[in-house]
Structure 1
Amino acid sequence: MISIDIPGFRKLELAHLVLDYNGMLALDGKLLPGVAEQLAGVAPTICIHVITADTFGLAEAQLAGLPIKLTITPVESQAEAKLQFVSELGANTVVAIGNGRNDREMLRAAALGIALIQREGGAAETLASADVVCTSVFDALELLRHPKRLVATLRS
């Protein structure tokens, strides 16, 4: 669990990390170099979930052996499926990271929503739904490894 009290924002008790796959952890279906090590570094403190439509059909093989729980959903109604997934985990215990338009609702519902803008870009609606915006998944995961960095960004 990651616990941090952010003045003027809220106290976060984060037990679950929910991530999209393509555009975040992977590009064109292939895991980005260094992502496996970053996930392994975060795993001791938070339960990691990857939820994806698996556009390229490579997620299971690419994530094999990593300390994550993979959920592959149908292509239809992605935004609703991701929102339901976060809600079932208990949104107040979730940090969600995404970049696509289908991630906007889960970011809005999560206790902490982080939008990414990487090589695949980031949907404007998703950026508007987030609490924090990062330009790399590595930076986003480092926020969880060093949660006091969130204080500087989110306090008011």
Structure 2
Amino acid sequence: MLHINVPGWKTLRLAHLFLDYNGTLALDGRILPGVAERLEELSRHLDIHVLTADTFGSVREELKVVPCDLPIIPPQGQSTQEQAQAKADHLRAFDPALSAAMGNGRNDALMLREAALGIALLQEEGAAPQTLAAADVVCPSILSALDLLRHPLRLAATLRG
């Protein structure tokens, strides 16, 4: 568990990290450089959950060295709202008050809004405006977002009141 005191905001007690895959951890189905190492380090303190429709069919192979829960959300026949609901339902099953979430897509907005800490990413795929509005923090890369959890004083500096 991570304990992060943010003066003037709240003290975060985080046990879970929920992540979108494509657009967040990966580009075109391939995990971005440096991500696996950071996730492995964070997995010593947090349960990692990667929520994805696995559009490119590569997520299991790409994350084989990362200790994580990997629920696949069926893309066929599901609207963006249904995918968003599936991600939020998964987060709710583990307690949003003890969770951080990261994503960039429209189907990530609800998950970010419900988590104790929501981080939106603005990377190569861009980010949906609803997701940016739902976030507590917006980062330019997944590496900088994961590093906020690895170096909590950075997060406190951003969010303090």
TM-score by length of 2: 0.94
Supply the AA of the counterpart residue of 1:85: H
RMSD: 0.8
Supply the AA of the counterpart residue of 2:55: T
Which residue matches 1:101?
A: 106
SS where residue 5 of structure 2 aligns?
strand
| Equivalence map 1:33-112=2 (5 Å) | 33-75=33-75, 76=78, 77-112=82-117
SS where residue 5 of structure 1 aligns?
strand
Post-superposition Cα deviations, 1:51-71, rounded to whole Å, max 9, x if no partner, equal: 001111111111112111111
Report the count of equivalent residues: 156
User: Is the contact made by 2:103 and 2:112 (CA closer than 8 Å) also made in structure 1?
Assistant: yes
Q: Displacement, 1:15? A: 0.1
Unaligned runs of 5+ in 2: none
TM-score by length of 1: 0.97
User: Is the contact made by 2:36 and 2:65 (CA closer than 8 Å) also made in structure 1?
Assistant: no
Q: Displacement, 1:43? A: 1.3
Q: Displacement, 1:131? A: 0.1
SS where residue 108 of structure 1 aligns?
helix
Q: Displacement, 1:151? A: 1.0
Q: Partners in 2 of 1:17 and 1:57 — Cα distance?
A: 22
